Structure 1
Amino acid sequence: MSRLFGTDGVRGLANRDVTAELALDLAVGAAHVLALRGEFADGHPRAIVGRDPRASGEFLSAAVCAGLASAGVDVIDVGVLPTPAVAYLTGEMNADLGVMLSASHNPMQDNGIKFFDRHGYKLEDDIEDQIAAYMGESWQRPTGADVGRITTDLDAINKYVDHLVSTVNYSLQGLRVVVDCANGSASTVGPEALRRAGAEVIVIGAEPDGININHEYGATAPRRMASATVGHMAHAGVSFDGDADRCIASDEEGNVIDGDKIMGTLALAHKEYGTLKNDTLVLTVMSNLGLKLAMNANRIKTINTAVGDRYVLEEMRKGGYSLGGEQSGHVLLTDYSTTGDGVLTALHLLSRLAEKRVKMSELVSEIQSLPQSLINVKGVDKASAATNEVVADAVKQAEKFLGDTGRVLLRPSGTEPLVRVMVEASSQEQADMVCQKLADVVLAELAL
C-alpha cells in the first residue's frame, strides 16, 4: 500500500484527491499525534494554520481548522502567507504544530496539506505515518469548554517580515529589483520585505484571484521576470513559486539564475564571512556537476541527498550544516529558517549584490553549469521506473556514451505523476539528444 504522504505532505487534485473530509481527518490525526500528548497551562494546545491563495484553500483551511478545534486545539488562522512563514510563526508563537494548505508550484487545481512540528520543522516519515494511521480511529471527543477556539492574527505578516529583514547585513538601498510573486502567497510579503530592506521594487504577478496562482508567472516560468528585469533596467530580478519556498533569480541581462547558482554564490559569501558551518554545502542529486566543481575549487565540501528539501534539511541537521538546497530554488539557510524560504533567499542574494557593488552577472559568474536537459515524462507508471530492465539498460548505455563528461539521472517525481529524465553533457546538443532518447524509452516502456 502506497503512503498517503509524499515528499512534501499530502498533495493532489483538490476536491477529488485532497477533499474537505480528508483535510478534517488529517487535522484530527495531527492534533492527536503532535499536540495532545502533554499538559498545557490553559488546557489547550495551539496550532498555526496558513494557506496560499488557491480557491480550494478556502474550504480546505476551514476543514483543517474545524478538525483541530474539534479535537481540542486552539487555532490561530494567519490566512494567506508563505509556507516558510507558517513554519517560522509556529516556532516563534510557541504553537504545538503548524499546518500549511498549498500545492506549492503545482497548477491551481491541485492543493496539499503540510504539517510542521512545534519547532517549525517538516515531519519525519514515521510521524507522518502515525498521523495517517490515526485517521478513522475512534477517539474521545471534547465537549463544552474543552473544544478548541479559532482566532485570526492580522499582525502575523508583520512578525514574519520583521524577521526576514532582521537577517540582512547590507541595505539594498540603490538596487532596483523586479519581484515576481507567482500570484501566490508572497504577493504582499515579498515586495514588502524587499522595500523595508531598502530596494526599489517593481512588482509583477502579485494580483492573486484564487485561480491564477503559478499561471505563466513565478519560479517555474521565470522568463517573464527575466524579461521585465531587462525592460525596467533593473539590477536583478527574483521570482517565487506559489507558496514562496523557492526563489529563482535573473541578472541584469535577463539570464535566469537557478538554485544551484544562488546556493553557490551564497556558499562563497558565507565561507568568506566564516559562517558556512563545516565549510559544507548540502545538495540533492539534481544539482549540476558544475556547481560541485566550483565548490571543490573553493575548498567547499558538497554532500548529496535524495531530491526533496526535507531530505536536504535532515542531512543539514544531522551534520550541523548551515546552507543547502535544490536546483529548483529551494534554499535552506538554517541560521534563520527551518525550511526553504524564497523571500529570505532573495534578500540574502541581493544583500551580497549590494555588498560587492558589482553586476549580478559578475556576482554569479564563478558558478558555471554544465549543459543540462530535463524532460518530465507524463502518463507513465512511475512506480516501475526503477525496476524496468529496458529502461535500466538504456540508462547504462547513455552513461557509457557520456563517459566522464556528463551524467544521467532518472527518477519518479515525489509530488507529481511523472518521471523526470535529466542529462548533463559537454554540449547542449548532446544533452538534449541523450535526454530525448531516454525519455522516448521511458514513455514506450512505462506508458499507462
Structure 2
Amino acid sequence: MSGLVVSYSGVRGVVGRDLDASVARRFGVAFRRMVAELHPAGPITLVVGRDTRASGPELQSALMQGLSDERVRIMDLDVAPTPTIQFALGALQADGAVAVTASHNPAQWNGFKFFLAPDNTVLDGAQTERLIRELAVASDVAGAVVRDNQHERAVALHVARVLEQVDAGSIRRRRFRVALDAARGAGERPALRLLDALGCTVMRVDVERESEPVAENLAALGAAGVQNGCAVGFAQDLDGDRLALVTETGTAPGEDYTLVLVVDHLLHRPHPSVPVVVKNVSTTRAVDDVVARAGAELLETRVGEINLSRALKRQMDQGRVAFGGEGNGGVILPPVHLGRDSLVGMALVLEALAQRDEPLSIRLRELPRYHSAKLKLPLTPSRDPASLMAAVERAFPDGAADHLDGLRLRFADGAWLGVRRSNTEPVVRLVVESAGAQWVSRVANTLQNI
C-alpha cells in the first residue's frame, strides 16, 4: 500500500501494485468502524457504487465484504456516477457512502471516495486521518454482505432533482441535438436519461480515451458534433463528476469554461440576495470577472472538493444563495448536492443555450477569455514541492505571493501562476494564466526547466 495517494480527495493507487482485494476489504472495515462510532445504536445504511474501470467489480465486492457486519445494510448502486452516489447518500437517508473510482486518473488506477452524512460530503482532512488510523488496525475480514440494489431508484431520483433546477420546458422546445462522449464511463446512462427527459436527440460517441476530458482527448467528440449538426458536445470523465464542452464548430474551449459559462448563466437569474460564487485557487480568473460584472461576491478556497463543499454550506447556513465549482469542469449546485456533478452542468448549459437564440461558440465569445497552460511535474527525490515553490518564487520576483494553497504569484497585469502538490497523483501541478499567449508560453517553458 506504500504507493497509495491518500488525501481528502480519496484514496487512489495503481491496481495490482498499491491496491487489491485485501486492501479494499481493510478500507471497508476501517470505514465501517468509523461510521459505527458516529451511529453506535445502529443499524447502519451505506451506499456503494463504482465507475466502469475493469478492476471495479472485484474491488467493490471486496470493499462491501469489509463494510459488512450484522448491523450494516448496503444499498448497491452497481455502476453509477460519483454524483449519483453522493446524491443518493442524502436521498436514500444513508449514513455513509463509498464510490469505487479513481476519477480522472489513468485506467490502471482505481480507488475509493468516502462520504459521510449528515452533510453528505467527502471526508475532510481530520476525517481522512481518522480513517487511516482505523486502517492501521483493520484486519482483512470478509463479512456476509446484505445488499439491496437501488441503482434504478437512485438514478431516477438524481435526474429528477436535476430537472427541478432548470426550465425543462424551454429546453425541450429547442429540440437540441447533442453529442455525448462519456469515455465509456459510469455517467453515460444517467446522462442519456437526463438528455432524453430534456427532449434532446443524442449522438453517442463511443470511443476509448483517457478519463480526463481535456481538449486533446476530445477530437472524436468534436468531429461527431460537427458531422451531426449538434448544438453542443458534452464530455464526462469515467465517474461522471466533471464536464467539458465542445462547440457546434467542433472546438473544445477547455474545461474551465464549463464553470465560467454556468456561473455567468446562474448570475443572470433573479436571486433574493447577492449570490456568493465559490471557486478554488486554481480556477481561471474569468470566473472572477463574471462575478465582478454581476455585482456578486467571490469566495476562494484551497483545491479539494471538501473545501468548496464546506464553504458553500457555510454560506447556505447563513441564508445566502451560493454555487460554484472547480476549473476542471466540476459544477456544484447545492440544491442538488454539495459535490461536482456533470448532469447539473449539462442541464444548466442547455438552459443557457435555450434562453438565447445563438450558438455556443458565440455565447462563449461573450465571456472573458484568458490563455492558460496546465502542467504536471512528477515528484522525485530532487524535486519536492517546497523546494520547487521556493525556486519558482525566486524566478519571478515581481509576483505578489500568497500561500492559501501551495504558491500563487499574481502580477500587476492580472496574470498569475500557481504551484501546488496534487491531492490525487504523485505530481506537482502548475497553472499559468494570462491575457497574453506569449507570456503563458514563456512562463510555462521556464517552469518546466526549473
TM-score, scaled relative to structure 2:
0.87
Aligned to 1:227: 223
> Alpha-carbon deviation of 1:402?
5.7
Aligned to 1:159: 157
The amino acid of 2:160's aligned partner reads D
Q: State which of 292, 299, 302 in structure 2 corresponds to 1:306.
A: 302
Structure 2 residue 417 is matched with structure 1 residue 416: no
The amino acid of 2:69's aligned partner reads S
The answer as to whether partners of 1:47 and 1:73 remain within 8 angstroms in 2 is yes
The answer as to whether partners of 1:182 and 1:219 remain within 8 angstroms in 2 is no
Structure 2 residue 449 is matched with structure 1 residue 440: yes
> Alpha-carbon deviation of 1:24?
1.2
> Alpha-carbon deviation of 1:213?
6.2
Aligned to 1:110: 109
Q: SS in structure 1 opposite 2:268?
A: helix
For residues 399 and 352 of structure 2, the distance between their equivalents in structure 1, rounded to whole angstroms, comes to 40
The answer as to whether partners of 1:31 and 1:68 remain within 8 angstroms in 2 is yes
Aligned to 1:445: none
For residues 243 and 360 of structure 1, the distance between their equivalents in structure 2, rounded to whole angstroms, comes to 25
Aligned to 2:74: 75
- Structure 2: gaps (5+ residues): 401-408
Aligned to 2:439: 430
Matches within 5 A, 1:165-180: 165-171=163-169, 172-173=171-172, 174-180=175-181
The amino acid of 2:20's aligned partner reads T
Aligned to 1:204: 205
The answer as to whether partners of 1:49 and 1:77 remain within 8 angstroms in 2 is yes
For residues 217 and 415 of structure 2, the distance between their equivalents in structure 1, rounded to whole angstroms, comes to 26
Aligned to 1:188: 189
Change (3 A) 1:314 1:217: closer
For residues 294 and 13 of structure 2, the distance between their equivalents in structure 1, rounded to whole angstroms, comes to 42
The amino acid of 1:372's aligned partner reads S
The answer as to whether partners of 2:275 and 2:322 remain within 8 angstroms in 1 is no
The amino acid of 2:283's aligned partner reads S
Q: State which of 174, 197, 210 in structure 2 corresponds to 1:214.
A: 210
Q: Name whichever of 124-133 and 98-107 sits farther off.
A: 124-133
Q: Name whichever of 8-17 and 365-374 sits farther off.
A: 365-374
Change (3 A) 1:415 1:58: same
Q: Name whichever of 176-185 and 63-72 sits farther off.
A: 63-72
Q: SS in structure 1 opposite 2:432?
A: strand
> Alpha-carbon deviation of 1:313?
1.5
Change (3 A) 1:182 1:275: farther
Q: State which of 253, 257, 260 in structure 2 corresponds to 1:261.
A: 257
Aligned to 1:295: 291
The answer as to whether partners of 1:11 and 1:112 remain within 8 angstroms in 2 is yes
The answer as to whether partners of 1:291 and 1:369 remain within 8 angstroms in 2 is no
Aligned to 1:317: 313
Q: SS in structure 1 opposite 2:105?
A: coil
Q: SS in structure 2 opposite 1:317?
A: helix
The answer as to whether partners of 1:294 and 1:366 remain within 8 angstroms in 2 is no
> Alpha-carbon deviation of 1:245?
0.4
RMSD (Å), alpha carbons:
2.9
Q: SS in structure 2 opposite 1:335?
A: coil
For residues 298 and 167 of structure 1, the distance between their equivalents in structure 2, rounded to whole angstroms, comes to 21
For residues 422 and 272 of structure 1, the distance between their equivalents in structure 2, rounded to whole angstroms, comes to 29
Q: SS in structure 2 opposite 1:135?
A: helix
Q: SS in structure 2 opposite 1:65?
A: helix
Q: SS in structure 2 opposite 1:404?
A: coil
Aligned to 2:405: none
Deviations 1:125-183 (A, max 9, x none): 111211211124379x999xxx6512323423333333333333133331111111011
Aligned to 1:149: 146
The amino acid of 1:96's aligned partner reads D
The answer as to whether partners of 1:259 and 1:331 remain within 8 angstroms in 2 is no
Change (3 A) 1:259 1:364: same
Aligned to 1:444: none
Q: SS in structure 2 opposite 1:274?
A: coil
The answer as to whether partners of 2:379 and 2:426 remain within 8 angstroms in 1 is yes
TM-score, scaled relative to structure 1:
0.87
Q: Name whichever of 403-412 and 80-89 sits farther off.
A: 403-412
Aligned to 2:370: 370
Q: SS in structure 2 opposite 1:79?
A: strand
> Alpha-carbon deviation of 1:315?
1.4
The amino acid of 2:112's aligned partner reads I
For residues 85 and 117 of structure 1, the distance between their equivalents in structure 2, rounded to whole angstroms, comes to 14
Deviations 1:387-428 (A, max 9, x none): 344343124367799642411211221111222222223321
Q: Name whichever of 194-203 and 273-282 sits farther off.
A: 273-282
Change (3 A) 1:163 1:35: farther
Aligned to 2:36: 35
For residues 334 and 167 of structure 2, the distance between their equivalents in structure 1, rounded to whole angstroms, comes to 16
Q: SS in structure 1 opposite 2:78?
A: strand
Deviations 1:34-82 (A, max 9, x none): 2354366xx5311111000111111110111101113731112110000
The answer as to whether partners of 2:215 and 2:254 remain within 8 angstroms in 1 is no
Change (3 A) 1:369 1:381: farther
Equivalent pairs counted in the alignment come to 430
The answer as to whether partners of 1:51 and 1:101 remain within 8 angstroms in 2 is yes
Aligned to 1:446: none
For residues 61 and 416 of structure 2, the distance between their equivalents in structure 1, rounded to whole angstroms, comes to 46
For residues 398 and 434 of structure 1, the distance between their equivalents in structure 2, rounded to whole angstroms, comes to 12
For residues 405 and 154 of structure 1, the distance between their equivalents in structure 2, rounded to whole angstroms, comes to 47
Q: SS in structure 2 opposite 1:55?
A: coil
The amino acid of 1:420's aligned partner reads R
The answer as to whether partners of 1:281 and 1:303 remain within 8 angstroms in 2 is yes
The amino acid of 1:303's aligned partner reads L
Q: Name whichever of 317-326 and 84-93 sits farther off.
A: 317-326
The answer as to whether partners of 2:98 and 2:114 remain within 8 angstroms in 1 is yes
Q: SS in structure 2 opposite 1:95?
A: coil
Aligned to 1:355: 355
